[in-house]
Structure 1
Amino acid sequence: MIKKISIQQLKPGMFIHDINCVWMEHPFLVGALKIKNDKTIEKIAGLGVREVYIDTLKGLDVIDAPTETEVNAEIEHKMLAMVQQVKPITTTSTLSEELKRSREVYGEANKIISNIMHDVRIGKQIEVERIDPVVEKMANSILRNKDALLSLCRIKNKDDYTFLHSVSVGALLISFAHALDFKRDVIKQLGVGGMLHDIGKTKVPNEILNKPGALTEEEFVIMKSHVVHGCSILRKSPGIAQVSFDVASQHHERFDGSGYPLGLKNSEMSVYGQMAAIVDVYDAITADRCYHKGMEPTVAIRKMFEWSKFHFNPKLLRTFIRIVGIYPVGTLVMLESGKIGVVIEQSETDMTRPLVRIIFDAKKNYFIAPKDIDLAKPLGQGGGDRIVNYESSAKWDIDPNKFM
Structure 2
Amino acid sequence: MTEVQLGMFIHKLEGSWLKHPFWRTKFLLDDEQVLADLRASEVEGVLIDIEKGADVGGAPPPAAGRRRPLVPASSSADHVAERVRLERMQASQQAFRAASNVIPFDLRSATALSVAREVGHARAVVAKASRILSGVFEQARLGKALSKAQVEPVIEDLFASIQRNPHAFNGLMRIRRENSTLYSHGLAVSALMIALGRQMGLDEQRVKDAGMAGLLMDVGMGHLPIDVSTILDDLSSAQRNIVETHTTLGYEFLELGGELPEEVTRVCLEHHERYDGSGYPHGLVGEEIGLFGRMAAICDVYDSLTSDRPHRPRVDPNAALGLMRGMEGQFDEALLDQFIESVGVYPIGSVVRLTNGRLALVVDQNAQDYTSPRVWSFYDVGSRRVIKPEDLDLRFCRGRVEIVCSDDASDYAIENLPAIREMVFNSACKALA
Compute the displacement of 1:264 (Å): 1.1
Partner residue of 1:165? Answer: 185
Q: Which one is further off, 294-303 or 368-377? A: 368-377
In structure 2, relative to structure 1, the CA distance for the partners of 1:244 and 1:347 (3 Å cut) is same
* Separation of aligned partners in 2, 1:386 and 1:247: 38
Partner residue of 1:37? Answer: none
- Alignment of 1:316 onto 2:316: no
State the superposition RMSD in angstroms: 2.2
In structure 2, relative to structure 1, the CA distance for the partners of 1:395 and 1:375 (3 Å cut) is farther
C-alpha contact (below 8 Å) 1:326/1:351 kept by paired residues: yes
Compute the displacement of 1:213 (Å): 6.5
TM-score normalised according to structure 1 size: 0.71
3-state SS of 1:257 partner: coil
In structure 2, relative to structure 1, the CA distance for the partners of 1:369 and 1:311 (3 Å cut) is closer
Q: Which one is further off, 284-293 or 112-121? A: 284-293
- Alignment of 1:304 onto 2:321: no
Partner residue of 1:395? Answer: 413
* Separation of aligned partners in 2, 1:358 and 1:267: 43
* Separation of aligned partners in 2, 1:107 and 1:206: 27
- Alignment of 1:204 onto 2:221: no
Match of 1:128 among 138, 148, 169: 148
* Separation of aligned partners in 1, 2:346 and 2:375: 10
3-state SS of 1:358 partner: strand
Code of the aligned partner of 2:360: G
* Separation of aligned partners in 1, 2:249 and 2:261: 17
Partner residue of 2:403? Answer: 386
Code of the aligned partner of 2:326: E
* Separation of aligned partners in 1, 2:391 and 2:228: 47
Please tell me whether Structure 1 or Structure 2 has the larger radius of gyration of its CA atoms: 2
Code of the aligned partner of 2:351: L
| Number of corresponding residues | 309
Code of the aligned partner of 1:391: D
Partner residue of 1:58? Answer: none
Code of the aligned partner of 1:153: M
* Separation of aligned partners in 2, 1:220 and 1:196: 21
Gap regions ≥5 residues in structure 2: 1-110, 426-433
1:289-328 deviation digits (Å, cap 9, x = unpaired):
1112332222210111121x31111000001111222321
1:334-385 deviation digits (Å, cap 9, x = unpaired):
2110122211223335443322123344435352353222257524xxx542
In structure 2, relative to structure 1, the CA distance for the partners of 1:211 and 1:305 (3 Å cut) is closer
C-alpha contact (below 8 Å) 1:142/1:148 kept by paired residues: yes
Partner residue of 1:342? Answer: 361
- Alignment of 1:279 onto 2:296: no
Compute the displacement of 1:132 (Å): 0.5
* Separation of aligned partners in 1, 2:330 and 2:213: 21
* Separation of aligned partners in 2, 1:369 and 1:117: 40
Match of 2:351 among 332, 344, 347: 332
3-state SS of 1:287 partner: coil
C-alpha contact (below 8 Å) 1:352/1:387 kept by paired residues: no
1:202-254 deviation digits (Å, cap 9, x = unpaired):
11123455245731100100000000000100101132112312322210111
* Separation of aligned partners in 2, 1:132 and 1:96: 26
1:282-297 to 2 correspondence within 5 Å?
282-297=302-317
* Separation of aligned partners in 2, 1:310 and 1:133: 36
Runs of 4+ deviating beyond 4 Å: none
C-alpha contact (below 8 Å) 1:329/1:344 kept by paired residues: yes
Compute the displacement of 1:156 (Å): 4.9
3-state SS of 1:340 partner: strand
1:114-159 deviation digits (Å, cap 9, x = unpaired):
211101112211122111012111111111112211022223537x
* Separation of aligned partners in 2, 1:314 and 1:237: 34
C-alpha contact (below 8 Å) 2:350/2:406 kept by paired residues: no
* Separation of aligned partners in 1, 2:126 and 2:358: 32
Match of 1:358 among 377, 385, 392: 377
- Alignment of 1:152 onto 2:157: no
C-alpha contact (below 8 Å) 1:359/1:371 kept by paired residues: no
Q: Which one is further off, 245-254 or 167-176? A: 245-254
In structure 2, relative to structure 1, the CA distance for the partners of 1:328 and 1:251 (3 Å cut) is same
* Separation of aligned partners in 1, 2:120 and 2:228: 37
Code of the aligned partner of 1:386: I
C-alpha contact (below 8 Å) 1:186/1:243 kept by paired residues: no
Compute the displacement of 1:196 (Å): 0.5
Code of the aligned partner of 2:218: D
3-state SS of 1:206 partner: coil
* Separation of aligned partners in 2, 1:240 and 1:306: 35
Partner residue of 1:183? Answer: 203
TM-score normalised according to structure 2 size: 0.67
* Separation of aligned partners in 1, 2:314 and 2:296: 19
Gap regions ≥5 residues in structure 1: 1-90
In structure 2, relative to structure 1, the CA distance for the partners of 1:321 and 1:354 (3 Å cut) is same
Partner residue of 2:69? Answer: none
In structure 2, relative to structure 1, the CA distance for the partners of 1:205 and 1:103 (3 Å cut) is same
Identical amino acids, percent of aligned pairs: 28
